[in-house]
Amino acid sequence: MAELKILGVWPSPFVYRVIWALKHKGVNYEYIEEEDLFNNKSELLLQSNPVKKKVPVLIHGSKPIAESAVILEYIEETWLQNPLLPQDPYERAMARFWIKFGEDKAVTFFAISRAVGEDLEKTTKECKELLQILEKHGLGKEKFFGGEEIGMADLALGSIACWLEIFEEVVGVKLIEPASFPRLHQWIQNFKKDPLIKDNFPNRQKLISFFKHRREAIVAAAKAL
């Protein structure tokens, strides 16, 4: 069996999607922390993702795969047990649609962690509009995007949703109000409770602390201007 490695940084929701997918399939891997992603990228990273120089990267034997959504599809096609996508092509297209929605809108969601003042108000409004779309069009009557069980769309959107909850605490805003987004709220609770997610999640306090520090640095830099 070829060696499997994940190159990542511990506070990244994109890295966790990959971890969850491999755990779901019961596949063993070695996790390698990229120690200084912003200032001093490792040789391994530069070699395995020369185009984007970002994490996560999955290295299967000698084959590097970059971009978390691409990695998830690779995992699904390489390890066929416990499928994360439905069989039906239309259902697969729907799952991919929501995965892409998450990818495209992640920037807006993560901007919350860095926004202050007017910017924060604007970003909060934008986030709520996106959440409204998910609430209205995304979740049907089922427990998860994948149906009764967690699927690829849940991993993709769930990673964003879990980190959004962290940002709520870091920034002091409430985005996913149960009254405004009942389905979304219930879905996140179910997602977080699932042993796959619960048992494979970074230390919550450590995560809050990490993003708080980052936010403080950004706020201080903004004030200095």
Partner 1 sequence: MDNSLTPLVLKRLLVPTLLHLGFRKTLTMADEVVLLDFWPSPFGMRVRIALAEKGIKYEYKEEDLRNKSPLLLKMNPVHKQIPVLIHNGKPVNESLIAVQYIDEVWKDKSPILPSDPYQRALARFWADYIDKKIYVSGKKVWQTKGEEQEEAKKEFIGHLKMLEGELGDKAFFGGECFGFVDVALVPFYSWFYAYETCGSFSIEAECPKLMAWVKRCMQRDSVAKSLPDQHKVYDFVLQLKKKFGIE
Q: CB of residue 146 vs partner 1: minimum separation in angstroms?
A: 17
**Residues contacting 151, CB < 8 A, separation 6+:** 84, 85, 86, 95, 144, 145
Torsion angle in degrees (nearest 10) through CA of 16, 213, 206, 191: -40
Sheet with 4-8, strands from edge to edge, namely 30-33, 4-8, 57-60, 63-66
> Rounded CA gap, 129 and 7, in Å?
33
Residue 140, helix vs strand vs coil: coil
C-beta closer to partner 1: residue 61 or 182: 61
Q: Which residues bind partner 1 (CB under 8 A)?
A: 51, 60, 63, 65-67, 69-71, 73-74, 77-78, 89-90, 92-93, 96-97, 100-101, 133, 137
Nearer to partner 1, 105 or 114 (CB): 105
State the nearest-atom distance from the C-beta of 57 to partner 1, in Å.
Answer: 11
> Scanning the structure block, which residue is given the tokens 């200032």?
39
- Taking the complex as a whole, the smallest distance from the CB of residue 138 to partner 1 amounts, in Å, to 9
Least separation in angstroms between CB 39 and partner 1? 24
Minimum distance from residue 195 beta carbon to partner 1 (Å):
27
Q: Pick the closer one to partner 1 by CB: 58 or 170.
A: 58
Residue 63 or 174 with smaller CB distance to partner 1: 63
| Single-letter amino acid code for the residue at 220 | A
Peptide bond into 89 cis (omega under 30): no
Please, which residue, 133 or 217, has the CB nearer to partner 1? 133
Provide the H-helix boundaries in the chain. 13-25, 43-48, 68-78, 89-111, 117-133, 152-171, 182-193, 195-198, 204-224
Closest approach of Cβ 104 to partner 1, in Å?
A: 9
66 or 197: whose CB is closer to partner 1?
A: 66
Pairing type for strands 63-66 and 57-60 reads antiparallel
